Amino acid sequence: MATILIAGATGLIGKELQKTLGEHNTIRVLTRNKKLCSHTNIFYWNPTTMEISADAFASVDCIINLSGENIGNKRWTTKQKKRIQDSRIASTRTLVWGIETYGTSVTTCIWGSAVGFYGNHTTNSCFTEEQPPGTDFMARTCELWEAEAKRISNKNIRNIIIRTGVVLSNKGGMLTKITSTLPFRVLPLFGSGTNNIPWIHIDDLCSIVTYVLHQHHFQGTFNAVANNNSQLEFIKTIQHAYSKYTVIIPIPSVIVQILLGEMATIVLTGNTISNSKLIDSGFTFSHNNLLTTLTQELNNGTDSKS
């Protein structure tokens, strides 16, 4: 049994990860809400001011950081882009400082990053962990974010970065946004639909975190992607999995760009991401078939709302 401190524990991934890891480990979480810190497993931090509780690190074996402003919640104004970057860089910097100051028992750090590291563009390449970052906003954000994690000077600490694709869950994220139009029997298709969506089921993502935690020789970066499908394949598969009459409504790229501005890149572009490193290490994905995965998610909650 390990003692694990999680930052970003109240998000979609964090909540599921708490359930998965909590079965066999002691879980602690960080919060910005001081009123919640009366609970024995909840500790205060404020990355904006570089504050973090020393008690949070007592006897902690592993740190997991999932913190960061949601990239799809608001239009990417200059102010919002700064919030997106600062939320990731400041949280990582604060945790690294806390580990080096108080984390004498820490042996493993797992940092959540994103496949946006490779850039939001569409090419024929398949991106592996060894390839350099892209040049757009999200790529630069991931690059700066990961650079902070690599500042840990203690060579006895395993440092693992997980670059995650689009996380599929009927409890939130991209899937619930797309399927929110199903009650009206329509599905949106943004642009040509030829862009790839590298995806992973939330259960597999939690399994990957558990896997790398217990593989004590693991270090470095891993792509967390079960498969890659085009946006058009995604929409058609949702249509098939839903099993009720729906119409696909194409939304021209120019309209998407007018509505979303620079943020349009995350729905109009996308790359193929390799998962060979994880598979070659011995990890097995439980959800890598798109139709099976979407059918399960729709039947387990999304379509019950219609």
pLDDT digits (tens, 9 = 90+) for 29-42: 999 999 899 778 99
CA 164 and chain centroid, separation = 5
What mean pLDDT is predicted for residues 117-143?
Answer: 92
- pLDDT tens-place string over residues 238-253: 999 998 899 999 999 9
Token readout for 262 is 């620079």
Kindly report the number of other CB atoms within 10 A of residue 238's CB atom. 24
pLDDT confidence of residue 39:
78
Q: Which residue in the block uniquely carries the two structure tokens 């990731």?
A: 88
DSSP string, 221-247: EEEE-SEEEEHHHHHHHHHHHH-S--E
CA–CA gap between residue 189 and residue 185 (Å, rounded) = 14
Spell out the residues 6+ positions from residue 102 whose beta carbon is closer than 8 angstroms to its own.
Answer: 52, 54, 56, 57, 58
Categorize the per-residue pLDDT at 301 as very low, low, confident or very high, splitting at 50, 70 and 90: low
CA–CA gap between residue 110 and residue 221 (Å, rounded) = 10
- Side chain identity, residue 175: L
Q: Which residue in the block uniquely carries the two structure tokens 């950081």?
A: 65
- pLDDT tens-place string over residues 96-129: 999 999 999 999 999 999 999 999 877 788 999 9
Assess whether pLDDT exceeds 70 at residue 198. yes
Q: Which residue in the block uniquely carries the two structure tokens 């499908």?
A: 229
CA–CA gap between residue 185 and residue 306 (Å, rounded) = 9
**Structure pTM?**
0.94
Going along the chain from its start, the domains and CATH numbers come out as: 3-167+198-226+271-287 (3.40.50.720)
Assess whether pLDDT exceeds 50 at residue 306. no
pLDDT confidence of residue 120:
83
Angle between helices 137-149 and 78-102 (to 10 degrees): 10
CA–CA gap between residue 272 and residue 286 (Å, rounded) = 20
What mean pLDDT is predicted for residues 81-108?
Answer: 96
What mean pLDDT is predicted for residues 291-302?
Answer: 86
Spell out the residues 6+ positions from residue 226 whose beta carbon is closer than 8 angstroms to its own.
Answer: 165, 199, 200, 201, 204, 275, 285, 287, 288, 293
CA–CA gap between residue 235 and residue 197 (Å, rounded) = 11
CA–CA gap between residue 242 and residue 145 (Å, rounded) = 38
**Strand 158-164 to 166-168 pairing:** unpaired
